[in-house]
Chain A
Amino acid sequence: MVGKGRKLRAVCIVSVALAFGGSAHAQWTRQLELGLVHDTNLSRAQNPEDQIKDTALVARAALSRPFPIGDYADATAGVDARLTRYTKSHGASFASLGANAGARRKLGLGLTAPWIALDGNAAYEDAREEIRDAMRYAVSVTAGKRFTPELDGSVGFAYDRRVQRKDYVEEDEDLTGYGGKPFSLQGRSLFARLNYALGERAGLIGAAALRHGDVVSSTRRNFAIFAGSNAIADDPALGADFIAYRLSGASTRTLSGGISWSLASRTALEATLTKDDTTVRGGLDYRAVIFALTLIHRQ
């Protein structure tokens, strides 16, 4: 399926051009991100021989616009385009185009007044391998507070859902009880974030999350995971002999830390290291470490 999705990638490129080609006085806030992501277990596999290490080039452009809702709150709506291109697992490369909306309000006046936010987004992901094409949805509610000029934090709850576009179970396949949409997933998360400024230029980032729900693990043929899964399909994005299995009732603990370095008032370089530990019933646990280096410009 290489070559598929050119239309959507073209849309993404046009979006980037729109994001930064327009005049600055408009009410749109524009954010452009360029980065590298290295994933030690892109396949989310348990067995070391099935774990695919890969690095991706990531570009993201977002446009958002505020809308007033009363004297003390603002809503925002925006669009978001993303390109992720893996260096080895080309079939997992994807482009996505989405829309987002949110509202946030400070519950008082001043630096240390707490705030709440409600956010939602929907995006269509067009991968090189059609099996991975999906709609993604997420909603979150977040509450936060600045404790000192240097330290601020937030906690929240999120619900995410991914709906695979096509079902890949053939009518003549004998897979009674199994679905053909291993990439259709949903989960609920609790998360917390902390930011600590080391000065005007540097800042530390810390985050933790606990997610409970479905995960997809791609491995070579494996009876144990087959028995523990409830949807399967070939996953040629990671190898001709790879199969994607959906595992339900999984818990993922995520810890993330990083540093942000301001290059200018609207430009920063962010480096983060994220560790995912996933526990699945039946001992199908796996781990992934993700390093991301991102250049961000906001206008």
Chain B
Amino acid sequence: MNRPFVLAMLSTLSVAGVAADLHAVVRSDKGEPVRDAVVVAVPEAPVAKPGRAPKLEQVEQIGEEFVPKVKAILVGSPVSFPNRDSVRHHVYSFSPPKRFDLPLYVGTPAKPVVFDKPGVVVLGCNIHDWMIGYIYVSESPYYATTGADGEVTISGIPAGDYTVRVWHPQLADVVEDTRRKLEANESADMLWRVALKPEVRIRRAPSATRRGPY
């Protein structure tokens, strides 16, 4: 089991009022920035006024890929899957938090899919096997996804005790949650070093001997 390597703790105040910021940095065990890591701070006691409510989200299909590849949403959020390609896609998931399929379509399906259970939902396309995407359904409204620099800041977190976790599709091992107390007007820095396994993707290559996408 790979333990999170929390380097920095308390730092300078940055936000007025009672909210705190969490600046998260995720690096691979080789020190490279990890893109598309989801960082979630789960309050240990109910929060009176959560920072955000479920809203309509979207995961597009562009160039026969899911965009974004990793999408974090709040539990209860509806997600639409607009197809920006000229070919039809058939989006599906077998993941326990949400099993669904959207039979072959172009454009945007009329009904978004509501993700009502927390967890990780792996997306696929039944036509283009190489297409893979992930929806991280967070039970907490305090979450964000790292960019290309492997960093992200979650702003406006009410003061209190939190369980902070990081998730990435290629995590080699489960990363233990970290308990963290966030003080009002605090800006906390956290750093994870995580081991990543190679990505297993269906090979996408045109062929002179094989016609069709599958």
Contacts and interface: CB of A to CB of B under 8 A. Distances in A.
Contact of B211 (A66, A106, A113, A119): A119
A102 B207 CA distance: 17
B208 interface: yes
Interface stretch (A5-13, A23-31, A40-48, A126-134): A23-31
A28 B87 CA distance: 9
Contact of B104 (A26, A74, A119, A266): A74
B207 A296 contact: yes
What is the predominant secondary structure among interface residues of chain A facing chain B?
strand
A298 interface: yes
Nearest to B213: A104
Contacts of A298: 206
Interface size class of A (residues with CB under 8 A): 35 or more
Nearest to A104: B212
Interface stretch (B46-54, B121-129, B152-160): B121-129
Given A27-B87, A66-B88, A268 B205 contact: yes
Given A207-B209, A262-B203, A109 B101 contact: yes
Contact of B208 (A28, A193, A296): A296
Interface in B181-214: 199-212, 214
Contacts of A203: 203, 205
Contacts of B200: 149
A149 B92 contact: no
Nearest to B199: A200
A151 to B, nearest CB: 11
Given A72-B104, A110-B124, A203-B205, A66 B87 contact: yes
Contacts of B94: 109-110
B203 A27 contact: no
A266 B124 CA distance: 19
Given A203-B205, A262-B203, A195 B210 contact: yes
B12 interface: no
Contacts of A234: none
Contacts of B199: 200
Contact of A115 (B86, B101, B214): B214
B153 to A, nearest CB: 32
Interface in A274-299: 292, 294, 296-298
Give me the 6 closest cross-chain CB pairs, A-B, nearest first: A71-B103, A298-B206, A197-B203, A268-B205, A27-B86, A262-B205
5 contacts: A74-B104, A109-B92, A111-B129, A258-B209, A268-B207
Interface of B: 63, 86-88, 90, 92, 94, 101, 103-104, 124, 126-127, 129, 199-212, 214
